[in-house]
Amino acid sequence: MAIDYKRLRNWPLADVEQSYDWKDSALYALGVGYGHDPMDERQLRFVYEEDMVAAPTMPVVLATHGFWVKEQNTGIDWVKVLHGEQSLVIHRPIPVAATVVGSMRVKGIVDKGRDKGAILVQERTLRDKATGELLATLEHLTFCRGDGGFSEQPDNGPRGGDPAPAAKPATPDTAPDLVCDLPTMPQAALIYRLCADLNPLHADPKVARAAGFQRPILHGLASFGVAAHAIVRSCCDYDPTRLKSIGLRFSGPVFPGETLRTEIWRQGSRVQFRARALERDVVVLSHGLAEIA
């Protein structure tokens, strides 16, 4: 079954409501490395209920719509999809405890060609139910490797699908201004999966080996959170309200227990970055861009 452009572009996605408390906020923060040094009081604020603040990237696990592309009749070959890019704009500080509502829409479908796959662009907004205030806007790019060429069919959307999203800037070729090494725990994926994504790829060695990995891998959005942690640490002095937006491309898998070295280039309020798995010297996150207040 091929992608039906009109049907997928207008796929019905009901709002998702979620209530969470300080323990959920602490669990997420632990999953992306806050509290690794329990004597660092700046980190402790994210995981201890006294004078607590939420990690700014927590919206990625709040009021999510799950793996909906697997639903029947989307036309997507879901086995071949990859999470390609993620971005987050933070409009207001994320509450430590609240009831929030997530609204999702398909923002675009790009046809890269029969042999190159397609790109599905999803946009999700997160609002505080009590106040109606917009907390965050998220954009999620999925590479649908098995679904290219759909627009070659008659009356199946514009040729080439929708315009491709703007490309993220390439990493500078100069030495970074800052470097931040953050270790991940061997059990990091087992902690993070309790926040949102229960995919056994991140927990079961047998499933990981069947997928071609030597052991379970860390969630992409967990590595996203670790890189953001590095930015908050290095550029914001652990003040989460200073991180206004962050986006990146997923370039390779991370194994729990590896150290992520985030290399940072500063240009005023604009920050570019990438992250590598230090033990393997492999870039795992690239084309990173953040805005700092």
Residue 94 belongs to domain spanning: 5-152
Name beta bridge partners: 120: 109, 142
The reply to whether 205 and 253 lie within a common domain is: yes
Relative to beta strand 81-90, strand 134-144 is: antiparallel
The reply to whether 186 and 141 lie within a common domain is: no
Q: Which pLDDT belongs to residue 167?
A: 87
The reply to whether 142 and 200 lie within a common domain is: no
Q: Where do the DSSP E strands lie in 53-203?
A: 81-90, 98-113, 117-128, 134-144, 178-183
The reply to whether 17 and 148 lie within a common domain is: yes
The reply to whether 142 and 231 lie within a common domain is: no
Q: At a CB cut-off of 8 Å and minimum separation 6, what does 257 contact?
A: 183, 184, 185, 186, 188
The reply to whether 238 and 108 lie within a common domain is: no
Q: Which pLDDT belongs to residue 79?
A: 83
The reply to whether 182 and 146 lie within a common domain is: no
The reply to whether 20 and 121 lie within a common domain is: yes
Q: Which pLDDT belongs to residue 192?
A: 96
Q: Which of 24, 140, 162, 202 is catalytic?
A: 202
Q: Which pLDDT belongs to residue 52?
A: 97
Q: Which of 162, 197, 219, 287 is catalytic?
A: 197
Helix (H) or strand (E) holding 218: none
Average pLDDT over the chain, rounded to whole?
95
* 159: in domain: no
What CATH number is attached to the domain comprising 79?
3.10.129.10
The reply to whether 44 and 136 lie within a common domain is: yes
Which CA distances in Å does 165 have to 29, 85, 142, 265, 276?
30, 11, 12, 23, 25
Distance in angstroms (rounded) separating the CA atoms of residues 185 and 226:
11
- Percentage of residues of the chain with pLDDT beyond 70: 100
Q: Which pLDDT belongs to residue 2?
A: 85
The reply to whether 65 and 185 lie within a common domain is: no
* 198: in domain: yes
| pTM of the predicted model as reported, rounded to 2 decimal places | 0.94
Task: Count how many domains the chain has.
Answer: 2
* 168: in domain: no
Q: Which pLDDT belongs to residue 231?
A: 98
Q: Which pLDDT belongs to residue 233?
A: 97
Tens place of pLDDT per residue across the chain (293 aa): 689 999 999 999 999 999 999 999 999 999 999 999 999 999 999 999 999 999 999 999 999 999 899 887 899 988 888 899 999 999 999 999 999 999 999 999 999 999 999 999 999 999 999 999 999 999 999 999 999 999 999 999 999 999 999 888 888 999 999 999 999 999 999 999 999 888 898 999 999 998 889 999 999 999 999 999 999 999 999 999 999 999 999 999 999 999 999 999 999 999 999 999 999 999 999 999 999 99
202 tagged catalytic: yes
Q: Which pLDDT belongs to residue 199?
A: 86
